[in-house]
Amino acid sequence: MVTRGFTGRRVDPETAARLPPGQHVTQDFPVLSATPTPQIDPGDWRFTLKHGSRPIASWSWLEFSQLPRTLWQGDIHCVTTWSRLDTTWEGVSIDDLLTAAAVGELTPFMLADCYGGYSTNVQTADLLNGKAMIATMFGGRPLSAQHGGPARLLVPHLYFWKSAKWCNGLKFTERDEAGFWELRGYHLRGDPWKEQRYSGDR
Ligand SMILES: Nc1nc2c(c(=O)[nH]1)N[C@H]1C(S)=C(S)[C@@H](COP(=O)(O)O)O[C@H]1N2
Ligand SMILES: [Mo]
């Protein structure tokens, strides 16, 4: 058996099996933000669901806090190659959000909007069946502002740039409309297991 010593990135087989190609484990929680951190008072916060430009449902912080809650535990993967294992999140699943809004018709794509102007596109199927939530808690505590508090989208099976911080809405779209990083050369879907980092990747 060959060991690389303490500085190598070799990990035990169980951990290795949880790491998508080209990723390594980090113990800390890096902050990656393209804009300054907006300070959002919960009293001013609103979350709006739209079909194109037409609003179909909207929640204040108080209304949002009365929606059913979901817990999720697992691994997150940033396109800059760090992965963090066994993170815990709590929030409102997109399934519960759509049920609360009594959304009948879905479009194939959605665009997440944020305070500060960031956006990211996702296939609607990537948000349903327990795959995604609007998270308000991390590690049992309210989500800090630098990590997207009061609320962020969490789509943990895709690269973490899809998990839009300070998310204030989801918009149903007919076409796949590129968001902030997708317009700057990142992949439209971003599946870490397929290593879909840049727009040319399959
Ligand atoms: N609103 C907003 N959301 C964002 C970003 C951003 O710049 N603005 N960066 C994305 C990227 S590239 C990553 S890797 C993660 C980083 O989340 P973190 O800072 O909590 O680690 O947030 C994503 N969501
Ligand atoms: Mo990222």
Whole-prediction pTM: 0.95
Q: Is the CB of 183 under 6 A from ligand 1?
A: no
Q: What is the pLDDT of residues 15-39, one digit of tens each?
A: 999 999 999 999 999 999 999 999 9
163 lines ligand 1 (CB under 6 A): yes
Instruction: Copy the structure tokens of residue 65.
Output: 């806090």
Per domain, the residue ranges of the chain are 41-194
- The yes-or-no verdict on residue 3 having pLDDT over 80 is no
Q: Which pair of tokens denotes residue 38?
A: 């907006």
Q: Read off the pLDDT band of 199 (50, 70, 90).
A: very high
CA of 126 to the centre of ligand 2 (A): 18
pLDDT tens figures, 51-83:
999 999 999 999 999 999 999 999 999 999 999
Range 87-97 burial, b when 16+ CB lie within 10 A, else e: bebbbbbbbbb
How far apart are alpha carbons 162 and 120 in whole angstroms?
Answer: 6
pLDDT tens per residue across span 137-172: 999 999 999 999 999 999 999 999 999 999 999 999
Q: What is the pLDDT of residues 121-134, one digit of tens each?
A: 999 999 999 999 99
Q: For ligand 1, say whether the CB of 82 is within 6 Å of any of its atoms.
A: no
Q: Which CATH architecture has domain 41-194?
A: Alpha-Beta Complex (3.90)
Cα three-residue angle 109-23-90, rounded to 5 degrees: 55
